[in-house]
């Protein structure tokens, strides 16, 4: 990626027209909602001023390599029927961050920088769609129904409407195939905003997003509230990395029915001295089914190839279950979790949210959910065709843990619920690894950070490649248009680290490359034709003639050595 020098600030209004400024010359202040289709280009940086919306009918296109570095409170939200096409690459990710983060980069190079204990330095990205949500009862819109209804909607957490007629904050509808655009190779850093108690901006907020929306290669680094939170919808996510989150790392609610494959969660802290839930990690994955819990849709999902790394001394639950949530965890790693690996929380305890727990109104109890086949659908407030509405799970039980490794979870209650539910029954092919047989190649923790009775051991270096029992799995996800057949446990194969090149974790030196190095890994699908082959290389080479070069070897200069590094990597790729 080219080094950027920010020479001057130009105040402009983005929305009515596209602004064109000279290369490497301007910081563009985004001061208005985006009402017509607009493109943000990598030769400028963009500074979100307050809460900005992409309005219905408009598409915001963000070029690979673009940096959005905002002031406190600067946020971006995609409304229902708006669209975002934010597509970075491994060589040139799109970065949403703060001005303070950019100040740590060497000569403006986004592949450098220094990790800091910080959050709330800007807002977040929120995407709202038209898919079904399960929200009914206390705290819900009064016209919502317990059964699936295209008229059900909700107001997005963390967004403040300008008045009763402001629909920009609404999510929900009846189109599970809704398309809000593309969000690929994007790093979101140091975000969050506390609007009020229980009303905060997450790193990435997704409300009622449909199946046609594409989200992959997403990083959340430091956030005051949740890393990624999903309310309803059917969107799938792939290649997700979430570090140092101040509340739950991955949080789902209101009937999400999507899938995840290849996800890394590293628990830590974003703000020194903070309490759990506002700067220090809570659960790694928190799942709420619906509100009330007899409403439909109810969260029903499938995770494959997750690596979940908790806090061994003062950490919270690995996976937390509430309000009839159903999920499968397969081919995954659960390690260093400070409390229960599986926690039956039943409800979130907030009556104002209409939470009613497992077994309410004739729904399945928590125990029965573990023994019920994935294709046995609830008859309480059902869809007319439940098989077409619930497609994330294709085999097994509504709740299951299979073909996974559990390591160094030493709390006295770590496996109490897991054992009660038969997680380690032979047929599940789970491995309870012994001391000294870590399922990942290496992990280094820094000095303890203490806040009252809470002790955080931050991860400062990680080689997440699968090893020992994680190196080979018994079974795999069945390859289809989404899942990849990966014969290992956890988010990384024995010889890969997909964090290389595009993440803050890599830039900050927290991710250890494989022995072959990050730069020599196969480059991305640069020309976006769906195939990594010689045409991608041709595209890079042609760019060198017109100044489109990148500092591939991260030595601080862009020259022929970068081209040599790139070519050496392609020898194993095409």
User: Alpha carbon of 28 to those of 19, 20, 25, 102: distances in Å?
Assistant: 9, 10, 10, 15
Q: Which of 497, 518, 539 is the last residue of a domain?
A: 518
Residues 427 and 546 in one domain: no
Residues in contact with 567: Cβ distance below 8 Å, sequence separation at least 6, in sequence order: none
Q: Find, among 305, 269, 239, the residue nearest to 499 by Cα.
A: 239
> For residues 421 and 496, what is the distance between their CA atoms, to the nearest angstrom?
33
Residues 530 and 481 in one domain: no
Q: Give the gyration radius of the chain's Cα atoms.
A: 23
Please answer whether residues 497 and 512 qualify as being in contact, where contact means their C-beta atoms are separated by less than 8 angstroms. Answer: yes
Residue 76 lies in a domain: no
Residues 571 and 447 in one domain: no
Residues 443 and 532 in one domain: no
Q: Which contiguous run of DSSP H or E holds residue 100?
A: helix 99-102
Please state the domain count of the chain.
Answer: 2
Whether omega for the bond prior to residue 297 falls within 30 degrees of 0, making it cis, is: yes
How long, in residues, is the chain? 574
> For residues 412 and 359, what is the distance between their CA atoms, to the nearest angstrom?
28
**Helices then strands (H, E): number in the chain?**
7, 35
The whole-number pLDDT of residue 451 equals 81
Residues 411 and 528 in one domain: no
Residue 446 lies in a domain: yes
Residues 328 and 451 in one domain: yes
Residue 282 lies in a domain: yes
Residues in contact with 247: Cβ distance below 8 Å, sequence separation at least 6, in sequence order: 200, 224, 225, 226, 276, 277, 278, 281, 282
Please answer whether residues 1 and 109 qualify as being in contact, where contact means their C-beta atoms are separated by less than 8 angstroms. Answer: yes
Residue 541 domain boundaries = 521-574
Chain centroid, CA 219 distance in Å = 6
The two structure tokens encoding residue 170:
């609404």
Residue 47 lies in a domain: no
Residue 81 lies in a domain: no
Q: Which of 474, 497, 518 is the last residue of a domain?
A: 518
Residues 562 and 507 in one domain: no
Residues 311 and 446 in one domain: yes
Phi, psi of 561 (to 5 degrees): -65, -30
Q: Which contiguous run of DSSP H or E holds residue 54?
A: strand 51-54
> For residues 367 and 324, what is the distance between their CA atoms, to the nearest angstrom?
11
| Tokens 């975000």, located at residue | 191
Give CA torsion, residues 529, 535, 539, 542, to 10 deg.
-160
| Tokens 């619930």, located at residue | 390
Q: Find, among 192, 196, 195, 193, the residue nearest to 227 by Cα.
A: 192
The two structure tokens encoding residue 387:
């098989």
> For residues 488 and 473, what is the distance between their CA atoms, to the nearest angstrom?
5
| Tokens 């970065």, located at residue | 95
Residues 567 and 459 in one domain: no
Q: Find, among 543, 467, 426, 561, the residue nearest to 92 by Cα.
A: 543
Residues 497 and 535 in one domain: no
Residues 568 and 424 in one domain: no
Structure pTM?
0.88
Please report, in tens digits, the pLDDT of each residue of the chain (574 residues total).
333 333 333 333 333 323 332 334 599 999 999 999 999 999 999 999 999 999 999 999 999 999 999 999 999 999 999 999 999 999 999 999 999 999 999 999 999 999 999 999 999 999 999 999 999 998 899 999 999 999 999 999 999 999 989 999 999 999 999 999 999 999 999 999 876 556 678 999 999 999 999 999 999 999 999 999 999 999 999 999 999 999 999 999 999 999 999 999 999 999 887 766 677 888 999 999 999 999 999 999 999 999 999 999 998 999 999 999 999 999 999 999 999 999 999 987 766 666 799 999 999 999 999 999 999 999 999 999 999 999 999 999 999 999 999 999 999 999 999 999 999 999 999 999 999 999 999 999 999 998 888 899 999 999 999 999 999 999 999 989 999 999 999 999 999 999 999 999 999 999 998 776 665 444 555 555 555 566 666 666 665 655 555 655 555 566 776 666 566 555 444 4
Please answer whether residues 428 and 401 qualify as being in contact, where contact means their C-beta atoms are separated by less than 8 angstroms. Answer: yes
Residue 497 lies in a domain: yes
Q: Which of 482, 502, 518 is the last residue of a domain?
A: 518
The whole-number pLDDT of residue 421 equals 98
Residues 557 and 442 in one domain: no
Cβ neighbours of 460 (radius 10 Å): 15
Residue 78 lies in a domain: no
User: Alpha carbon of 489 to those of 67, 259, 340, 396: distances in Å?
Assistant: 34, 17, 20, 18
Residue 382 lies in a domain: yes
């Amino acid at each position: 990626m080219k080094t950027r020098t920010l020479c001057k600030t130009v105040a402009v209004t983005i929305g009515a027209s596209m602004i064109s400024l000279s290369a490497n010359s301007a910081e563009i202040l985004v001061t208005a909602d985006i009402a017509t289709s607009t493109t943000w280009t990598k030769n400028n940086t963009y500074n979100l001023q307050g809460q900005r919306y992409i309005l219905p009918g408009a598409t915001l296109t963000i070029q690979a390599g673009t940096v959005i570095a905002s002031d406190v409170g600067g946020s971006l939200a995609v409304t229902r029927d708006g669209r975002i096409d934010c597509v970075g690459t491994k060589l040139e990710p799109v970065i949403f961050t703060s001005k303070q983060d950019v100040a740590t980069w060497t000569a403006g190079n986004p592949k450098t920088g220094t990790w800091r204990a910080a959050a709330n330095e800007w807002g977040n990205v929120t995407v709202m769609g038209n898919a079904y949500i399960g929200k009914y009862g206390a705290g819900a819109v009064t016209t919502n129904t317990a059964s699936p209804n295209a008229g059900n909607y909700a107001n997005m957490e963390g967004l403040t409407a300008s008045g009763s007629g402001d629909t920009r904050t609404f999510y929900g509808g009846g189109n599970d195939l809704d398309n809000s655009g593309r969000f690929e190779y994007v790093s979101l850093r140091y975000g969050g905003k506390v609007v009020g108690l229980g009303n905060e901006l997450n790193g990435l907020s997704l409300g009622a997003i449909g199946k046609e929306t594409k989200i992959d290669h997403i990083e959340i680094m430091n956030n005051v509230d949740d890393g990624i939170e999903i309310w309803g919808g059917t969107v799938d996510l792939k290649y997700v990395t979430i570090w140092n989150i101040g509340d739950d790392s991955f949080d789902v609610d209101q009937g999400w029915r999507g899938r995840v494959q290849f996800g890394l969660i590293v628990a830590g802290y974003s703000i020194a001295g903070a309490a759990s839930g506002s700067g220090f990690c809570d659960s790694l994955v928190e799942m709420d089914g619906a509100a009330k819990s007899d409403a439909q849709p109810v969260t029903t999902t499938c995770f494959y190839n997750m690596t979940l790394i908790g806090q061994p001394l003062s950490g919270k639950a690995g996976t937390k279950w509430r309000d009839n949530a159903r999920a499968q965890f397969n081919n995954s790693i659960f390690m260093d979790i400070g409390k229960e690996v599986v926690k039956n929380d039943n409800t979130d305890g907030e009556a104002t949210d209409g939470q009613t727990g497992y077994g309410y109104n004739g729904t399945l109890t928590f125990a029965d959910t573990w023994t019920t086949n994935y294709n046995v659908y609830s008859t309480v407030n059902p869809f007319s065709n439940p098989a077409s509405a619930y497609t994330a799970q294709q085999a097994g039980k509504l709740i299951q843990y299979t073909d996974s490794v559990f390591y160094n979870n030493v709390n006295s209650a770590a496996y109490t619920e897991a054992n009660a539910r038969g997680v380690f029954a032979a047929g599940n092919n789970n491995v309870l690894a012994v001391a000294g047989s870590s399922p990942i190649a290496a992990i280094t923790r820094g000095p303890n950070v203490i806040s009252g009775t809470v002790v955080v051991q931050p991860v400062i270096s990680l080689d997440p490649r699968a090893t020992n029992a994680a190196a080979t799995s018994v079974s795999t996800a069945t390859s289809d248009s989404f899942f990849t057949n990966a014969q290992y446990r956890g988010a990384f194969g024995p010889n890969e680290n997909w964090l290389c090149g595009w993440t803050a974790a890599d830039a900050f030196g927290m991710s250890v490359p494989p022995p072959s190095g990050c730069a020599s890994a196969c480059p991305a699908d640069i020309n976006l034709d769906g195939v990594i082959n010689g045409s991608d290389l041709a595209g890079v080479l042609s760019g060198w003639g017109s100044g489109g070069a990148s500092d591939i070897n991260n030595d601080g200069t862009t020259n022929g050595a970068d081209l040599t590094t790139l070519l050496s990597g392609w020898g194993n790729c095409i």
